[in-house]
Structure 1
Amino acid sequence: MKKRNILAVFGLAMILGLTACGGKKETAESETETTVQITRAETETTSEEREPLPEGQMYSYLTGEPVDETIGMQRPFAIMINNIQDAIPQSGISQAEIVYECLVESNITRLLCEFQDIENLDKVGSIRSARHYYMDLAQDDEAVFTHFGQSIFAEERINAGYPTISGLSGYGGNVFYRTSDRVAPHNVYSSKDGLLAGLEATGMTRDYPEGYEGRFNFYAKDTVPAEGEAAEIVRMPFSYGQPWFEYNEEDGLYYRYQYGEAHIDAENNEQLKFKNLIIQYAARSVISDQDHQDYALIGSGEGLIITNGKATKITWKRETESDRTKYYYEDGTPAYLNAGKSYISVVPSETPVTCEAK
């Protein structure tokens, strides 16, 4: 298979003194590593070669890990999570199979947490209002979009028929509740029972469409990518919370930090951690006087898959609104993830993610 060259990316990385993910360090060490690397086809086993599972189990569409079919055949809930400093630590989010992060107004971010297994989801939040591009992300995974409030742009899509579980609906009191330990609007939560009540009230189903196939490809075995740049510390270009990830070689996971400290789930005191980080660069524009953002998520663009200490350049493609985003290597072949939880971020094209070795 033809090898791909990893091009250097500068900009913000020059200012910070780091290498932008996707760049190549010109060192004797990296040249030595290149000479002993062999191609992806020779080193990486794919999802088609995974071991068959016992009856009643399947490989999760979201994580590639074995799960009971009673869980794996259910559409996830995609919940808008507050990520402003007044709202942390959040509750329940360490249980999410996928976490999305994007900028919203005033340089803050919000999370969209997708939960397929909600059996132990006793408290999740705090929950905030929808932004229209998060609805595209939820649609990528056929998720049940759940929110408390919405921007005018998200409201346009809801009024046009996009189904959601909404806190501003007549049934909202059965789904969401407020706590007394925080001030509004940072005190809205839900739970397994609340989410199921919302599902019943809206008449939506958690059944996947007939013939549904997951959009991710997974390696059959844990794999270190044959090509890519060192990515043991990954810094996101979000100035308010300044999130970053640190790779732990012992368990092969990326641990998340923000606001200068570990990003913790208040319900179990666990730090958020992921097997894969997916970066999707997209053109950004401001579409209101209130600094509402928009991202060009239909079409194609560049990105990164970061796993097992390496960052590999990819492209993403989504041809129409009804399509789903797919990821490809630079040579056009489908990209692969390692089995496990994933963090996915839509990042403005002009602000590259930066990586470094420890």
Structure 2
Amino acid sequence: MSPLTGLPGQAGRILAVKIDNIVDARPQTGIDSADVVYAIEVEGGLSRFLAVFDSNHLPPGNRIGPVRSARESDLPVLQQYGKVDFAYSGALTRFLPVLAAANVFNCSPLQDSPSFFRGQNNVPPYNQYLVPSDILRDFPDSATAADVGFRFGNAPSGGVPTASFTARMPAASFTFSWSAGQDKYLVAMDGAPAGTTDAGQMGAPTIVVQKVAETTSPRGFMDSPGVLSPYAPTIGSGEAIVLRDGKAYDGTWSRPDAGSGTAFDFAGRPMTFHPGQVWIILEPE
């Protein structure tokens, strides 16, 4: 059983990919095959994805993107997965030494340029894609998918019927609309359906809105002169709203340290997710 989706099958090795989400980068490719999709605030209050793939669940087209640069918030999220392959297009010059010292296999074009290519649908820098099987071949020691705190099973009693729910960042919004026919919440971003090039509209059976005490870069990284980069803390605790099976469950999240997974609770008990892809929106409090 996969510890990341609750679906049958053997756990494979982990590839995490930083995927752009600015309007010019849409529609994305390959994201529907991710086991877990994190939406994280970046400069200007916009959002970017950190998608976690199991090597046994790669996109049928063997393409993921558009790939963009890594951010400081990514590393604490990934620590709970172990030492994984982390694919990104680049990073701030001052952030590169931090990435080099981090507990990840750095898989940017600096380390493995043949695994990346430029697509034809968008203009640079919104058209860089990767071939995931090539990354996994070239970096074969990535950690195997393991328990990061998710629990799967039948929906708990309680919850509030919720046909639609919107999570927000300063300059981005995610609206999740329940589709009983597809048994998942369909995603709209900034008021428009979130399409993909290869799998129709984005959607997942479990959506987690994890409220975080958004702050600025602990290391003083700046996206532009005088403007500190946003930073989403994922160690600590806070409120969380879980959407599944057409209902919303108001609960909490907790993660005591970087080496621990993230526990999600509802009514004093572990919150169970619906088996399948999990989305986690790191929404500023």
Provide the TM-score with structure 1 as the length reference. Answer: 0.71
- 1:64–1:92 CA distance, 2 compared to 1 (3 A): same
Cα displacement (A) at 1:193:
3.2
Pick aligned residue for 2:265 from 318, 324, 328: 328
1:136-171 per-position Cα deviation (integer Å, ceiling 9, x unaligned): 2223334432211123574343232332333242x3
- Tell me how far apart the structure 2 counterparts of residues 242 and 163 of structure 1 sit (CA, whole Å): 30
Pick aligned residue for 1:86 from 2, 7, 24: 24
Q: Which residue of 2 aligns with 1:310?
A: 247
CA RMSD of aligned residues (A): 2.1
Tell me the amino acid that sits aligned with residue 60 of structure 1.
S
Cα displacement (A) at 1:197:
3.9
- Tell me how far apart the structure 1 counterparts of residues 70 and 162 of structure 2 sit (CA, whole Å): 32
Pick aligned residue for 2:123 from 175, 183, 201: 183
Pick aligned residue for 2:186 from 255, 258, 262: 255
| Residue 115 in structure 1 maps to residue 53 in structure 2 | yes
Q: Which residue of 2 aligns with 1:342?
A: 278
Tell me the amino acid that sits aligned with residue 260 of structure 2.
D
Do the aligned residues in 2 keep the contact of 1:107 with 1:240 (CA within 8 Å)? yes
| Residue 301 in structure 1 maps to residue 241 in structure 2 | no
Cα displacement (A) at 1:192:
3.0
Cα displacement (A) at 1:343:
0.7
Larger Rg: 1
- Tell me how far apart the structure 2 counterparts of residues 320 and 115 of structure 1 sit (CA, whole Å): 23
- Tell me how far apart the structure 2 counterparts of residues 244 and 294 of structure 1 sit (CA, whole Å): 22
1:206-221 matches, within 5 Å, as 206-207=143-144, 212-219=146-153, 221=154
> In the comparison of the two structures, how many residue pairs are matched?
275
The 3-state SS of whatever aligns with 1:132 is coil
Cα displacement (A) at 1:85:
0.4
Tell me the amino acid that sits aligned with residue 166 of structure 1.
C
- Tell me how far apart the structure 1 counterparts of residues 119 and 59 of structure 2 sit (CA, whole Å): 22
- 1:303–1:131 CA distance, 2 compared to 1 (3 A): same
Q: Gapped runs of 5+ residues in structure 2? A: none
Runs of 4+ in 1 over 4 A off after TM superposition: none
The 3-state SS of whatever aligns with 2:129 is strand
The 3-state SS of whatever aligns with 1:297 is coil
Q: Which residue of 1 aligns with 2:69?
A: 129
Do the aligned residues in 1 keep the contact of 2:28 with 2:197 (CA within 8 Å)? yes
Q: Gapped runs of 5+ residues in structure 1? A: 1-58, 350-358
Q: Comparing both structures, which one devotes a greater share of its residues to strand? A: 2
- Tell me how far apart the structure 1 counterparts of residues 142 and 284 of structure 2 sit (CA, whole Å): 34
Q: Comparing both structures, which one devotes a greater share of its residues to helix? A: 1
